[in-house]
């Protein structure tokens, strides 16, 4: 068995160079690879293309890399929580490709499954369809979308073992499993790292064969993207 453990986030990013395309897991701020994003910022890698459901928030998540101008292009579905993202997009500093959320997920999944392209009704007749092939199936138009190609997939799991098997917890099981299967090099950070054989095989969400490097994260802030509370003593 190949032991895939590395000591920290910086070593896990070995070989990542300027201009590469990265998949970055998470939904909002839930399940984002906080340690890997911080390490990317310190490394100073530039001209990156990031495939992620969203672009973090100001000062956190991928927002850190936007602030340091390390991202050249964002391929995302939802970007409404980041003022710096908006400023860079409107000023032309940042290239942006907005994709329907289901299409984004399927382009990740298709890459991991070895499917080069697929057809979807999402986006037909809109700007999303510009320059893309449209075919009729049973009289209904479908748009052809290509699977993503990513040099690295950066994901975060709740628990993993030394063989790279991953278990996600709650909503963190969002884009992470699909992206973990799709990167040429997949790096996983986990909250708890255990010896191989300690995980229940029936509970594993991503088999270790898809994961190339794994490490235990040092700290997780786990911010809430939009915190909503009710006044004290208000009836439920």
- C-alpha to C-alpha distance for 233 and 222, rounded to whole angstroms: 27
> For 187-221, what is each residue's pLDDT tens digit?
999 999 999 999 999 999 999 999 999 999 988 88
Average pLDDT over residues 113-124: 97
Residue (of 77, 49, 55, 79) closest to 67 by Cα position? 55
Mean pLDDT of the residues in the chain = 94
Longest dimension (CA), the chain: 57
Answer yes or no: pTM beyond 0.85: yes
User: Residue 186: how many CA atoms within 13 Å on its side-chain side?
Assistant: 29
CB-based burial, 166-193: b 16+ in 10 Å, e otherwise = bbbeeebbbbbbbbbbbbebbbbbbeeb
> For 58-107, what is each residue's pLDDT tens digit?
999 999 999 999 999 999 998 877 899 999 999 999 999 999 999 999 99
pLDDT at 1: 58
Contact 156, 31 (CB under 8 A): yes
Alpha helices in the chain (DSSP H): 9-12, 34-43, 63-67, 83-91, 101-113, 176-180
Q: Which CATH class is domain 18-115+148-216?
A: alpha beta
For 129, the token pair is 């369809």
Question: Domain limits of the chain?
Answer: 18-115+148-216
Contact 93, 68 (CB under 8 A): no
- C-alpha to C-alpha distance for 102 and 108, rounded to whole angstroms: 10
């Amino acid at each position: 068995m190949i032991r895939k453990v590395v000591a920290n986030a910086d070593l896990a990013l070995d070989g990542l160079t300027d201009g590469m395309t990265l998949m970055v897991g998470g939904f909002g701020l839930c399940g984002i690879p906080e340690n890997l994003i911080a390490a990317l910022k310190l490394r100073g890698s530039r001209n990156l293309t990031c495939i992620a459901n969203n672009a973090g928030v100001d000062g956190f998540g991928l927002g850190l890399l936007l602030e340091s101008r390390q991202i050249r292009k964002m391929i995302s579905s939802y970007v409404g929580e980041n003022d710096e993202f908006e400023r860079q997009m409107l000023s032309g500093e940042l290239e942006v490709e907005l994709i329907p959320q289901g299409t984004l997920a399927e382009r990740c999944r298709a890459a991991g499954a070895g499917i080069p392209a697929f057809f979807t009704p999402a986006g037909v007749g809109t700007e999303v369809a510009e320059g893309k092939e449209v075919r009729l199936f049973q009289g209904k138009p479908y748009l052809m979308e290509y699977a993503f190609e990513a040099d690295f997939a950066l994901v975060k799991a709740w628990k993993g073992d030394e063989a790279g098997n991953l278990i996600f917890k709650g909503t963190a099981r969002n884009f992470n499993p699909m992206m973990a299967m799709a990167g040429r090099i997949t790096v996983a950070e986990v909250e708890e790292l255990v010896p191989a054989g300690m995980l229940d095989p029936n509970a594993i969400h991503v088999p270790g064969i898809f994961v190339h490097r794994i490490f235990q994260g040092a700290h997780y802030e786990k911010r809430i993207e939009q915190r909503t509370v009710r006044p004290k003593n208000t009836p439920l």
